[in-house]
Amino acid sequence: MRLDGTPCCPHCKGLLVGLDAEGAPVSDGGETVRYACQACATEYPVVDGVVDFLPGAVTERGAAQRVMESDWVVAIYESKWWRASPLFSLCMGIGLEAEMALIQRITQPGPTDTILDLACGPGLYARAFAEGSPERRVFGLDLSWPMLRYASKKAARLGIENLAFLHGNAHAIPLKDASVDVANCCGALHLFRDIQRVLGELRCVIKPGGRFSGAMAFVRSDPWSRFKAYMGGKFWKVHPFREEEFKSLLDAAGFEPTVYHARRIWMIAGGIRRP
């Protein structure tokens, strides 16, 4: 899928133009090897079918993020040995298929919506949004190259043409303001170092009245649960959320929040972006 105006320079929000190998603007049918910002001239290469908005960047990662980027986790992420396993369903109080169906009910994506799957990982949710609705424009953004390479190759193998993958940072989302109808982030909100900034970025890119859904690590308010969360945070750099805490964060970011599932270690929430 060509970017066609929705993604933008994460530094200055300038519009992008596709360039071929000679540095000329790409016409219909040509191959884009990099994009350039029309305002600040910053260039972003296309690598393995993924637009790299962080060329050469080295980002600090916590232990949990490093595990998620390991080759063996990427290879089995969608399988019954990891995310779709009975053990995950037991720990989270909801199975993967039920969670994906709930996300669809929360976001209610329209047939021509523009959708962002933030921290898309191997593209599980991004593909679900894109498949069967060819007029939708879906963008999957992630920080992990192993996940993005897997996601891009699988989407290409399945012939999904309305899905583009972006290598970028959730703290500086490379999409134009008010350009997204639906945004989703499942499995990563508890990993971000500055959740308030991420939610602020989401508010910027989501249109007024647009929908947000997210699934994240959950902790109850009793002392033992909070102690376990504290210890996990020290080692894994994971911040599980209390229900009222996340609702308050969504509200402060400009969303009308609703929690749909808060059980065991997992919470699923959504929000409508206020005008």
Model pTM score: 0.94
Per-domain residue ranges of the chain: 47-273
Q: Are 4 and 29 in contact (CB under 8 A)?
A: no
Altogether, the residues listed in the chain come to a count of: 275
- CA distance linking residue 79 with residue 26, whole number of Å: 39
- Confirm if 112 and 136 have CB atoms less than 8 A apart: yes
Residue 60 burial by CB count (10 A; 0-12/13-18/19+): exposed, middle or buried?
exposed
Architecture of domain 47-273: 3-Layer(aba) Sandwich (3.40)
- pLDDT per residue, tens digit, the chain (275 aa), is 778 779 999 999 999 999 999 999 997 778 999 999 999 999 999 999 999 999 977 677 777 777 778 888 898 999 999 999 999 999 999 999 999 999 999 999 999 999 999 999 999 999 999 999 999 999 999 999 999 999 999 999 999 999 999 999 999 999 999 999 999 999 999 999 999 999 999 999 999 999 999 999 999 988 887 777 777 777 778 999 999 999 999 999 999 999 999 999 999 999 999 99
